[in-house]
């Protein structure tokens, strides 16, 4: 059993090396360029305006509630943008209200999904939440995003990578973290795009069981800190490729713009 896992990791490492070397094909650059001149045009100057809808009253049982969010008595739909979450997280961090900072990022991540408030309440009931989040913030500042990911991974029951990477992303922006690569959101939708791309690369180089290895490495969740490291390196380098591709991409690499593009389905690696 152990030998099989080692073999899988060896193949995944070989696939990662090719992934980091080959980056985005011409079809991807074209597709992302089309998104950038279409629905993604409003984000060229920054992703801060990317907003989701939620109903504050649905989160009435959640404490602490972000000071900069509408009151939980607000029963109609409201919008919260990435920029507003950054501001809310920053305000909470200044007061060392770590759970409040986590709530701001979690609400944005769940939006109107009905089970979000229930899940968040269960997460906040864990006695280690504040300690873990505070430690992650210190680690992010001192050792960077991958180390902070390692601190949070599996440390809080019910809080998986798809949501704690949102917290790390907003925290890095709110605290103006200078560590590179900067934390980015990694969720199922983005991982699936990279999985399909990796599978095609693996098949192209004749890698044994390329599709299965890509599915194992870029699964729907439970990513290791090593996988997050590969993700950050690939996203930053690919964003740099786009910046020099003549498609109107910002001069700065803007890897979070690429994350948003992949999340929004700008590129289908199977076409």
List the structure tokens of 25.
């094909």
Q: Which two tokens stand for residue 206?
A: 């004749």
Give the residue from 68, 63, 59, 60 showing the smallest Cα distance to 86.
68
Instruction: Report the alpha-carbon distance of residue 225 to residue 248 in Å, rounded.
Output: 32
Give the bridge partners for 52, in sequence order. 80
Across 79-109, b (16+ Cβ under 10 Å) vs e yields ebebbbbbbbbbbbbeeebbbbbbbbbbbbb
Helices and strands per DSSP (H, E), number in the chain: 12, 2
CB contact at 8 A, 20 and 198: no
In the structure encoding, which two tokens stand for residue 243, read together? 């910046």
Q: CA gyration radius for the chain? A: 19
Are 48 and 82 a contacting pair, CB within 8 Å? yes
Q: CB of 111 within 8 A of CB of 53?
A: yes
Residue 46 in tokens: 């920054």
Q: Which residues contact 263 (CB under 8 A, 6 or more apart)?
A: 185, 187, 189, 190
**Which of 86, 89, 111 has the alpha carbon at shortest distance from 98?**
89
From the number of C-beta atoms within 10 Å of its C-beta (0-12, 13-18, 19+), residue 136 rates as buried
CB 223 within 8 A of CB 187: no
From first to last of its 271 residues, the chain has per-residue pLDDT tens of 556 666 889 999 999 999 999 889 999 999 999 999 999 999 999 999 999 999 999 999 999 999 999 999 999 999 999 999 999 999 999 999 999 999 999 999 999 999 999 999 999 998 899 999 999 999 999 999 999 999 999 999 999 999 999 999 999 999 987 678 999 999 999 999 999 999 999 999 999 899 999 999 999 999 999 999 999 999 999 999 999 999 999 998 899 999 999 999 999 999 8
Kindly state the tokens that stand for 59: 């989160």
> pTM score, two decimals?
0.95
Q: How far is CA 82 from the centre of its chain?
A: 12
pLDDT of residue 2: 54
Do 106 and 166 touch, CB atoms closer than 8 A? yes
């Amino acid at each position: 059993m152990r030998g099989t896992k080692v073999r899988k990791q060896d193949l995944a490492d070989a696939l990662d090396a090719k992934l980091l070397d080959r980056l985005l094909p011409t079809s991807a650059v074209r597709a992302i360029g089309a998104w950038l001149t279409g629905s993604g045009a409003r984000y060229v100057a920054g992703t801060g305006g990317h907003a989701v809808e939620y109903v504050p009253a649905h989160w009435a049982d959640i404490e602490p509630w972000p000071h900069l969010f509408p009151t939980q008595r607000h029963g109609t739909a409201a919008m919260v943008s990435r920029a507003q979450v950054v501001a809310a997280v920053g305000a909470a961090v200044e007061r060392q209200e770590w759970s409040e900072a986590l709530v701001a990022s979690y609400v944005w991540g769940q939006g109107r999904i009905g089970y979000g408030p229930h899940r968040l309440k269960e997460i906040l009931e864990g006695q280690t939440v504040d300690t873990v989040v505070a430690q992650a913030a210190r680690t992010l500042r001192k050792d960077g995003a991958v180390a902070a990911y390692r601190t949070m991974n599996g440390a809080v029951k019910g809080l998986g990578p798809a949501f704690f990477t949102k917290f790390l992303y907003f925290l890095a922006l709110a605290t103006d973290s200078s560590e590179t690569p900067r934390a980015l959101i990694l969720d199922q939708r983005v991982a699936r795009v990279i999985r399909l791309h990796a599978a095609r690369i693996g098949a192209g180089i004749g890698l044994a069981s390329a599709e299965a290895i890509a599915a194992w490495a870029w699964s729907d969740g439970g990513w290791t800190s090593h996988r997050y490291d590969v993700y950050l390196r690939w996203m930053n380098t690919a964003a740099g490729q786009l910046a020099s591709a003549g498609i109107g991409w910002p001069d700065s690499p803007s890897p979070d713009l690429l994350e948003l593009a992949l999340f929004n389905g700008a590129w289908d690696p199977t076409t």
